[in-house]
Amino acid sequence: MNKEQLVASARSMKSKAYIPYSNFPVGAALLLSDGKVINGVNVENVSLGATNCAERTAVFTAVAEGYKKGDFAAIAIAGDTADYLPPCSICRQVLAEFCLPDMPVYLTNANEEILTLTLKELLPYAFTDLEM
């Protein structure tokens, strides 16, 4: 699967987001090393702290399906923002837990442009198990 297809998968998910409070849909598409794609959306809660982001929804679903650290090949994140939509800091740290530093991260915007970064570029000073 190429990056455009992965981004298209993330974009297609936005309409499934549960966003009654922010009206800010986000879709994510997580490519696994075996070629499977697991999608995620943001799911809000009135308490806000119980809200789950699209990226974490995809990662946690992959883990629940038996995928492990190192099985993640790329992720695309899609929203309707003017600038590129990066993952929040919590999602960045979750990605650092399961993904290799050179994994591609595709950020998109409302103009359907794609910015390609590595996870290390997105989170250069990640807290990892290597630091313990």
What pLDDT score was predicted for residue 128?
Answer: 76
pTM: 0.94
66 Rama sector, left if φ>0, alpha if ψ -120 to 50, beta otherwise: left
For 61, counting Cβ atoms within 10 Å of its Cβ (0-12 exposed, 13-18 middle, 19+ buried), the class is middle
Instruction: Note the pLDDT of residue 9.
Output: 98
Cα 54 → chain centroid? 6
CATH number assigned to the domain comprising residue 72: 3.40.140.10
pLDDT of residue 49: 87
Residues comprising the binding site for Zn(2+)?
Answer: 53, 88, 91
Predicted confidence at residue 126, as pLDDT, reads: 84
| Total domains in the fold of the chain | 1
Please name the residue ranges forming H helices in 14-101: 54-64, 89-98
Instruction: List the binding residues.
Output: 53, 88, 91
Q: Write down the pLDDT at residue 132.
A: 40
Catalytic center residues: 55
* Residues of the chain under the 50 pLDDT cut: 131-132
Range of the domain at 17: 3-131
C-beta separation of 101 from 120 below 8 A:
yes
pLDDT in tens, 14-32: 999 999 999 999 999 999 9
